[in-house]
A and B are shown apart, each in its own frame.
Chain A
Amino acid sequence: MSAYETQTATPAGEVPVDFEPMDRSQFLLKGALAAGALYGAAAVGPVVRRAFAQGGGGASQNDLDILNFALTLEFLETDFYEVAQKDVKLSSEYAAFAKEVGQNEQEHVDALSGAITDLGGKPVAKPTFTFPLEDEASFVELAVTFEDTGVSAYNGAGPLLENKDLLATAGSIVQIEGRHAGAIRFMAGMQPVVEAFDPTLDEDAVLKAVMPFIKA
């Protein structure tokens, strides 16, 4: 009767999962140890910054950890689109996507790091990434993986946020990740929707998905 009953779920991405698991503190440490790009808070999206700052007397360590976790993913996405624009010969359609989406991710980075600082935390340093980017096909495959993973990561972390203002703001970011994910899949001739309900990933699963791309 309904197409969704026969619709086969496309895997969120073909990311390797057979490597040593790593917990969040190691992950964050790895980021912090990376030669640190210093990120000023000047360019932060003002609305989001304000929303974050309305946290009312700072945020819990739990929430700060989640924000730093999100920041690391946004670092990854930002770096990915930057490298792709530089190193890969993309068709004009994908080049435009990489440019626009990369700018969105950079704004997420700025907002998250500014917010972490405002809330009395310390933003993780930007890790050094490595991407197996050879051609447009590998760009598309990785972009799909990262956007789908971003959606699932935010959706998994959302209910764990204690501060509801942070949840609202994380929501306004994850909707953008969802839009990116749907768009890149559609451009690539894939199903824009993985499942009727976006799968969620917990931190361990997200770490497994992104660790191959973190060099230091």
Chain B
Amino acid sequence: MSITRQKGIDQDPAKKGALQRLADDPVSRRKFVAVTGSGSALTLFLAACGGDDDESTNTSGESTTSTTEETSTAADTSGTEMFGKGDLGIVNYALTLEYLEAAFYVDVAKSGLFKGAELTLLKQFGANEEAHVGALEQTANSLGKAAPQPKTEFPLDDAKSVAMLAATVENVGAAAYLGQAALIESEEVLAAALSIHTVEARHAAVLNMLVGDPITPDGAFAVPMSAEEVLPAVSDFIVS
């Protein structure tokens, strides 16, 4: 498994190309997954999260070979077992994504690339993500143990590409929640996940408008993403 692509996000032209393509065509999120592969620090991070060793190894192995076909026909497993069993795994998976989103908006706010109404909006979205982090941490701790916060790094070159990345992150986030909804066992956890899912959807639609993409890029029915699709897509932003 490749761990060679974890350095210098901004210096990697191939990756920028992939992000660009993704931003240009949000429907091609799955292609993005295939392009970026699943190497990088996330695999190490997940391994370090502990949990059941067998499951960790197994899931990481699967994700290295993930393709659109295989993952979209994945069976009834949540693909989040490396974060814990059952609902705990799903909550910690969501928590990891929310950590990432919250950290992203903090970096964006600090970057100085945005001012005025746009900055206010991005800060508000970031505050929403922080609220999600808080709630999910609490839930995870009540079910077991909350996943650790990953160390993240994002390419923050210019306002346009950052806005596109924000849109991508939110669209993927919404798709990730949708991908888990039917796998959640607890009614309470499900209710919480649903109430976060539609907030991610609101964020995604607004950011899509800002970058000139359709508010519903998949049409009238949103397309879910499995954990096997989502984790490789975000792995480039996790450095350890």
Question: Which residues does A use to contact B, with CB under 8 Å?
Answer: 2-4, 7, 45, 47-48, 100, 103-105, 107-108, 111, 151, 154-155, 158-159, 164-165, 167-169, 171-183, 185-187, 191-193, 195-200
- Residue pairs across A and B with CB atoms within 8 Å: the count is 161
- A47 to chain B: which residues have CB within 8 Å? 221
- With A108-B220, A176-B221, A182-B202 as given contacts, are A4 and B131 in contact (CB-CB < 8 Å)? yes
Q: Which of B32-40, B46-54, B186-194 contacts A (4 or more CB under 8 A)?
A: B186-194
Q: Tell me the dominant secondary structure on chain A's binding face.
A: helix
- A183 to chain B: which residues have CB within 8 Å? 205-206, 209, 215
Residue B128 at the A interface, CB < 8 A? yes
Cβ-neighbour of A171 out of B135, B178, B196 (below 8 A): B178
- With A155-B191, A155-B194, A178-B199 as given contacts, are A172 and B131 in contact (CB-CB < 8 Å)? no
Task: Sort A-B residue pairs by CB-CB distance and give the 6 closest, nearest first.
Answer: A182-B202, A178-B201, A178-B198, A196-B131, A175-B222, A179-B205
- With A155-B191, A186-B206 as given contacts, are A193 and B222 in contact (CB-CB < 8 Å)? no
Cβ-neighbour of B221 out of A7, A48, A186, A195 (below 8 A): A48
- B204 to chain A: which residues have CB within 8 Å? 179, 182
Residue ID in chain B nearest A5 by CB atoms: B127
Residue B181 at the A interface, CB < 8 A? yes
Residue ID in chain B nearest A150 by CB atoms: B198
Interface contact B123-A3, CB-CB below 8 Å: yes
- A185 to chain B: which residues have CB within 8 Å? 202
- With A2-B131, A159-B187 as given contacts, are A197 and B221 in contact (CB-CB < 8 Å)? no
Question: In the complex, what distance in Å separates the CA atom of A198 from the CA atom of B191?
Answer: 10
Cβ-neighbour of B181 out of A48, A158, A195, A199 (below 8 A): A158
Cβ-neighbour of A155 out of B128, B198, B202 (below 8 A): B198
- A158 to chain B: which residues have CB within 8 Å? 181, 190-191, 194
- A186 to chain B: which residues have CB within 8 Å? 205-206, 209
Cβ-neighbour of B195 out of A171, A191, A197 (below 8 A): A197
Residue B75 at the A interface, CB < 8 A? no
A–B pairs, 26, beta carbons within 8 Å:
A2-B131, A4-B124, A4-B130, A45-B219, A100-B214, A155-B194, A169-B221, A172-B178, A172-B222, A173-B221, A175-B174, A179-B201, A181-B202, A183-B206, A191-B124, A192-B203, A193-B125, A193-B203, A196-B128, A197-B131, A197-B196, A197-B199, A198-B194, A198-B198, A200-B194, A200-B195
Interface contact B194-A179, CB-CB below 8 Å: no
- A174 to chain B: which residues have CB within 8 Å? 194, 197-198, 201
Interface contact A104-B206, CB-CB below 8 Å: no
- A175 to chain B: which residues have CB within 8 Å? 174, 178, 197-198, 201, 222
